[in-house]
Amino acid sequence: MKNTLGTNVKITLFGESHGEAIGAVLDGIAPGITVDSDFIANQLSLRRPVGQISTPRVETDKFEIISGVFEGKTTGTPVCIVIPNENTKSKDYGEISSKARPGHADFTAYEKYHGFEDYRGGGHFSGRITAGIVAAGAIAISALRQKGIFIGTHISRLAGIEDKAFSDIESEIFQLNNKEFAVIDNTKAEEMKQAILNAKSQGDSVGGVLETAVIGMPVGVGEPWFDSIESMLSHALFSIPAIKGVEFGAGFAIADMKGSEANDSFRMKNGLVTTLTNNNGGINGGISNGMPITFRCAVKPTPTISKAQQTIDYIKKEDTELTAKGRHDPCIVHRARVVVDSITAIVLCDILSQRFGTDWLVK
């Protein structure tokens, strides 16, 4: 198990879906960062299932910061945030305990942990664990904001429905951060939500693509070869359970371009170096070039669905069928948005610290 991520700024995750609590330890974050409980609570609310488009599991996410914060500010020592589990209906899951849910880690966890894993509700593999990332990430986001670095993510695509692309990143990411359902074009929100409800009514689920932009990153940050910005961010992003693809700048579309199209020409603008296009997503040679860092994550449709599915009993090693009864989400794309923002913030704090030191984020 590797539940610690980062070199100088580290996050450590713990917890199981139906255990006593889940949470995270954030270490290496600079002292003096204001810790705003309301902001953390609000970030957690963005991840929490809400309304008809999500699971009816009620998650209040009452978090406790049990270390590392003193008089409202980070101390520079590890911040441990604990989020107790509530309303965990283990019985719903009991019946299917040895039927592998397709698309889930039930079978692979059984093999890796020799049958000792806590299988209830996905155990340590539950998406619920991402709440720890969100709570810790809220502090990292606050740290970056005071240095003028801002992150925003929108639902670029959901069930095949496209949101508008970023056009005025500087203002759009602020608007996105205040939206519960993060689209640039609000008219798409209802369309997407309807697609989620349709999937739900069919006992099915839908996926999508999240697009993220980061502004304000200093030029010259990133640690090639192996700790390039792309390497560091993708490592973290692919830890989020449902993410199956990550692309920077033009991403896969760049593969079909000519060099003369793909290259981002440099131009001076108001004394600053800029590029005329941003197909490289603000990164050259793994190092930030001062343009917005942009990337997209493919989020798969929630694997837990109500429809009957072929599967195996992973203990008896025999074919069987599964009809899930637990509470589940017909879509997690909108909920994953804040997880992406959060882990991105933690990784950027780490990358910045490598060149500038952990002191750099001290206010």
d(CA 344, CA 66) in angstroms, rounded, equals 24
H or E stretch at 224: none
Number of residues that bind a second copy (CB under 8 A): 156
**Is the Cβ of residue 142 or residue 309 nearer to a second copy in the bound state?**
309
Q: Is 40 in the site for a second copy (CB under 8 A)?
A: no
The answer to whether residue 197 forms part of the interface with a second copy (CB under 8 A) is no
Q: Does 2 bind a second copy (CB under 8 A)?
A: yes
Rounded to a whole number of angstroms, the minimum distance from the CB of residue 339 to a second copy is: 12
Tokens of 326: 């637990």
45 binds a second copy (CB under 8 A): no
Distance separating alpha carbons of residues 239 and 328, to the nearest angstrom: 20
Does position 168 interact with a second copy (CB under 8 A)? The reply is no
Site for a second copy in 303-322 (CB under 8 A): 303-305, 307, 309-312, 314, 317-319
In whole angstroms, the minimum distance from the beta carbon of 80 to a second copy comes to 4
If binding is defined by CB under 8 A, does position 27 make contact with a second copy? yes
User: Is 312 within 8 Å of 160 (Cβ atoms)?
Assistant: no
Of residues 46 through 85, those in contact with a second copy by CB under 8 A are 64-68, 70, 73-80, 82
Terminal-residue alpha carbon distance, the chain: 34
Q: What does the DSSP 8-state code read for residue 115?
A: T
Q: Indicate the DSSP class of residue 255.
A: G
Which residues, 319 to 358, sit near a second copy by CB under 8 A? 319, 353-358
Among 47, 157, 188, 334, binds a second copy (CB under 8 A): 157
Does the footprint of a second copy cover residue 216 (CB under 8 A)?
A: no
Binding to a second copy (CB under 8 A): which residues in 242-301?
Answer: 243-268, 271, 273, 275-276, 279-281, 283-289, 296, 298-301
Q: What are phi and psi of 269, to 5 degrees?
A: -145, 115
**Cα–Cα distance, 225 to 223 (Å, whole number):** 6
Taking phi first (over 0 means left), then psi (-120 to 50 degrees means alpha), and beta for anything else, what does residue 259 get? alpha
